[in-house]
Structure 1
């Protein structure tokens, strides 16, 4: 009760303290790992959102931050990223510690959508050690490197409830990058391929790439097909599987076949 009194202090009315009180409840719910009330808080504040800009900037920033985290916990990655972006854009540079915390979650959700920030921005917030190796592994399609980068920072990510989300959502991006690099390697090594036909990837080439990237020789053709189906099902790849020839036939326009996942 004392916390609620502090939150309302200096406000003209209880209504003026709406988002401050809401932010306190969000904070406590996350601290005790009980988010059932958070959904109710979002519902209660919906009518007030039309006039949120009339509330103190700090209340606005923290509200969007907590809603972003709530949506992340609900695996609503796009909505989480949008709310965290609003919080980040409205947080002043004077509040560097708060802005760094917001950026940590904004960076994580952006990676899950296949959006990569400029390295200088990651470095500015002192997050290169945590995210740098992870970003490189995703871009290179390095499966073993991705798992190693995550595991080396496991306690850091787990403390912020990011480890499982990054593991589940970013691994598919690693596969996508690996398929793309395998195709470009084939096009470079086989320049005389008929350009009038759609590009293809053989399961044999993908199997070799997956085994090399993961450093796991137990991967077989069934795993290749499962990964390909997963990429297709999640719209990370525009192609179809030709089972009779064990081929992955891609869209003729390679840029479209591997279009950025965040626009799907």
Structure 2
């Protein structure tokens, strides 16, 4: 066997036997950018699709035979590894070395699929080892954490190439959908190990270890959330969020005990994905909580990551009455489209709000925030228009009766707001339209009061300034809907 291959196998065996996760990742070349990847291909005698060697064979780099690259052969070279793990580790190394040998950066459907399947085999063999339990029911080899994450990332990369070039029918295993599903299922299997429940005694024994399988649950979750988002698998994303919510010990306890093993950017990304899911599901209150956690966890120098968080946080905060400062918009290059949108929201300019949503529709839709603003935003803009109109009414008429404004105040404000805009309401606003809007605001708790159609006024909750009918948006709680049993 080529000296380089023997040396590599020996180093991996030592790293595994000593439980060194960083050494395992640094030693095994899974990415073409790894410094040993190309030399290892030469030592393994990589061949092109036509069957001819891609590297010249010399005395120093004798081609490795299929017999040499077998479980039995590699097992003999890792005698330092505990006997119970030798077969599984040798099988994993065979799969990994063959994936390196057979990789040539294919640009056709057949070649990219073959490279993808080779990495699936690598993951299968690694998972067998990773999911092995010891006599106490604990996972025996948490030192594989780094390799698991590395293999999952590589699998996602290769699957993207294969799926993009696939022309197979949808039910064929080589189809784009089946390739993506296979990748998703592989990562989900790894996450099941990492998210495994531990009782208090088991958790206490994990606290002082160099590695714990639970350390990578956030990183694996981020890989899955990205896949779910790309494919709009919202149900699967929701189930993943539930998995994190049901962790035993809890996510908070895990972070308190072993948070030092989790990068802040990884944790921020995990919170971000859960906040983004809330945006998609129009649950903007829950979304705001997760996005604010993501913002606090995100490193100060992570400009791109912080900007991505803000793009989702600004809309959900806006719908709860919290406006970002101009400095924040400038610092993160978000003056467009948010600057004009915020101004239209604050001033109650319904026509401008609609036009801006239409103008920036594609940008907002690409970030999953257009529907949220479209569905939940306009009614709040109407509310701000009515609130501003009522303030002006009180300022211009010192004798006005507080807390019982006439409905013509709102009708006049709407008519003036739409005048010359070309919107449907331009020149056609009637009392019935205003009653419909006010009724909706009252129904949602955004206006506290009752409409008197006979006397044509709005009877609001008493307040000295006459604005008792307009509570802070952040204080408005959504109605609880009871299911019929």
Please report the TM-score for the alignment, with normalisation by the length of structure 2. Answer: 0.51
SS at match of 2:468: helix
Q: Are the equivalent residues in 2 in contact too, given 1:68–1:83 (CA < 8 A)?
A: yes
Cα distance change of structure 1 residues 116 and 64 upon mapping to structure 2, 3 Å threshold: same
Q: CA deviation at 1:263?
A: 1.3
Q: Once the 2 structures are TM-superposed, how far is the Cα of residue 163 of structure 1 from its aligned partner?
A: 0.8
1:148 to 352, 355, 362: 355
Equivalent residue number for residue 238 of structure 2: 39
Match of 2:255 in 1: 52
1:256 aligns with 2:468: yes
**Alignment of 1:80 onto 2:287:** yes
1:126-205 aligned at under 5 Å gives the runs 126-194=333-401, 198-205=402-409
Residues 88 and 228 of structure 1, relative CA distance in 2, 3 Å threshold: same
Spell out, residue by residue over 1:78-113, the C-alpha distance to the aligned partner (whole angstroms, 9 max, x if none): 110000000011101211001100011111110111
Given the alignment, which residue of 17, 20, 23 partners 2:222? 23
Cα distance in structure 1, aligned partners of 2:433 and 2:215: 56
Going from structure 1 to structure 2, the CA distance change for 1:7 and 1:85 (only over 3 Å counts) comes to: farther
Task: Tell me: CA distance 1:4–1:107, structure 2 relative to 1, closer, same or farther (3 Å).
Answer: farther
Aligned to 1:233: 443
CA distance in 2, matches of 1:4, 1:112: 40
Q: Tell me, in whole angstroms, the C-alpha distance in 1 between the residues paired with 2:391 and 2:439.
A: 20
In the TM superposition, what is the alpha-carbon distance from 1:219 to its structure 2 partner? 2.7
- Distance verdict in 2 for CA 1:42–1:220, change over 3 Å: same
2:429 to 173, 195, 219: 219
Aligned residues of 1:201 and 1:248 also touching (Cα < 8 A): yes
Alpha carbons of 1:36 and 1:7: their partners in 2 closer, same or farther (altered >3 Å)? farther
**1:40-86: per-residue Cα shift (whole Å, max 9, x none)?**
21222221412135133222111110111112222211110000000
Give the structure 1 partner of residue 150 of structure 2: 6
Match of 1:207 in 2: 411
Deviates more, 1:157-166 or 1:34-43: 34-43
Relative contact order, higher structure (CA 8 A, sep 6+): 1
Q: How many residues align?
A: 260
| Runs of 5+ consecutive residues of structure 1 not aligned to the other structure | none
CA distance in 2, matches of 1:14, 1:138: 47
Indicate if the aligned counterparts of 2:275 and 2:290 stay in contact, CA closer than 8 A.
Answer: yes
> Is contact 1:231–1:237 with CA below 8 Å preserved after alignment?
yes
How far did residue 149 of structure 1 move?
Answer: 1.9
CA distance, structure 1, for counterparts of residue 406 and residue 368 of structure 2:
38
4+ residue runs of structure 1 moved beyond 4 angstroms?
1-4
CA distance in 2, matches of 1:186, 1:78: 32
Measure how far apart 1:7 and its partner are.
Answer: 6.8
**Cα distance 1:163–1:145, how it changes in 2: closer, same or farther (>3 A)?**
same
Q: How far 1:8 sits from its partner (Å)?
A: 7.1
Q: Compute the TM-score of the two structures, normalised by the length of structure 1.
A: 0.91
Aligned with residue 322 of structure 2, among 87, 90, 115:
115
